[in-house]
Amino acid sequence: MTPRTPRRAPGTPRRAPGAAPAGAVQVVVVLVIVVLAAGCGSTGGAAGAPHGDGRPAVVASTDVWGSVVRAVGGDAVDVHSIVDDPTADPHSYESTASDAADVLGADLVVFNGGGYDRFIAQILASADREVPAVEAVAVGGTVGVTSDNEHVWYDLPTVEAVAQRVAQQLGTLDPARAATFSANAEEFGREIDALTGRVSKIRQQHEGARVALTEPIASHLIEAAGLTDATPPQFVQAVEEGTGPPAAAVAETLQLLSGRGVAVLVVNPQTETPVTRKVRSTAEAAAVPVVEMTETLPESTGYVAWMSRQIGSLDKGLEQGRR
């Protein structure tokens, strides 16, 4: 089994370099909640009832989960994703008054959990009614995900289980379309199973291959593919926590790449820093393939197409890296 990288305490959000401290973000959210508490309850329909156009209104924390909802609900659901900028880092997102109104007025909220999109949990805690919600990290626990790595959209069984849970919730909100939602979730599940098959093929061909990560965003996928994370733990942990990696850890990581000690370097371009840029340039100079894996979707791209492209890039990089 691939060793896991030590991580910050579960539920502790990462702060990107230069981002406001977590306490400041919480203050902003609390102020928003105080301002909106009296009026937000009237922004949407009654709990469990579709909104004005007859479609359930679903709010997702990121477009990744919004895409999963669309795959299940199709045109019968109104989906709004709060973080949908392909260049943004959701860890450091600061919610607005409009976000709070959307969440508190939704028929269903779908979010990641595990401290990743903590602003959603804070807004939900302020609601004067119980807003139906699907938390991906909690759902992941039901399919055997025990890691404290909150990037569970890279765990394909979790994504499939979230789609099933969303179908159940939408069926409760709109019973007339419950069978359609269930059928859509089943079709989505078949597409996820196809992706899982491709990951299994990578495992068959490259099991044990050493890779480096600038952060553990795709660790669930890396583990499923049977790959070994050879990145110095201190380096990954520091990057994930938004602090500067120790000089010794940086030097060790650069040596790992310049000496071609790994087949592939996996990077998250949405959280790039001067240090990770140096790591990437070192890999490129040593002809180590670089594979990008992100936290939000490219424009006009759904979850399955996006993940398929990333799995393909990983496979191609491993093939190049073994030469």
80 DSSP β-pair partners: 59
Q: What is the overall mean pLDDT for the chain?
A: 85
Determine the topology of domain 23-196 in CATH: Rossmann fold (3.40.50)
Query: Given the structure tokens 């140096």, which residue do they identify?
Result: 278
pTM, two decimals, is 0.84
Residue-wise DSSP of 259-290 = TT-SSEEEE-GGG--HHHHHHHHHHHHTT--E
Query: Given the structure tokens 């071609």, which residue do they identify?
Result: 260
Residue-wise DSSP of 46-106 = STT---TTSSPEEEEEEHHHHHHHHHHHGGGSEEEEEE--TT--GGG----HHHHHHHHT-
Residue 239's pLDDT is 80
Per-domain residue ranges of the chain: 23-196, 207-321
* Digit-coded pLDDT (tens) for 101-153: 999 999 999 999 998 999 999 999 999 999 999 999 999 887 767 667 899 99
Lowest mean per-residue pLDDT among 128-132, 162-166, 206-210: 128-132
Determine the topology of domain 207-321 in CATH: Rossmann fold (3.40.50)
Residue 5's pLDDT is 36
**Which is higher by pLDDT, 39 or 106?**
106
**Cβ contact 252:236 at 8 Å:** no
Residue 93's pLDDT is 86
Residue 160's pLDDT is 97
pLDDT at 244 over 50: yes
State how far the Cα of 201 lies from the Cα of 196, in Å rounded to an integer. Answer: 9
Lowest mean per-residue pLDDT among 60-69, 197-206, 254-263, 292-301: 292-301
* Among 49, 266, 272, CA closest to 154: 266
Residue 50's pLDDT is 52
**Which is higher by pLDDT, 119 or 54?**
119
- Range 3-13 average pLDDT: 39
pLDDT at 30 over 70: no
Residue 314's pLDDT is 98
* Digit-coded pLDDT (tens) for 249-272: 999 999 999 999 999 999 999 888
Give the other-Cβ count within 10 Å of 128's Cβ. 10
Fill in the amino acid letter for 218: A
State how far the Cα of 138 lies from the Cα of 315, in Å rounded to an integer. Answer: 30
Residue 52's pLDDT is 62
Confidence of residue 321 (pLDDT cuts 50, 70, 90): confident
| DSSP-derived 3-state class of residue 162 | helix
Confidence of residue 89 (pLDDT cuts 50, 70, 90): confident
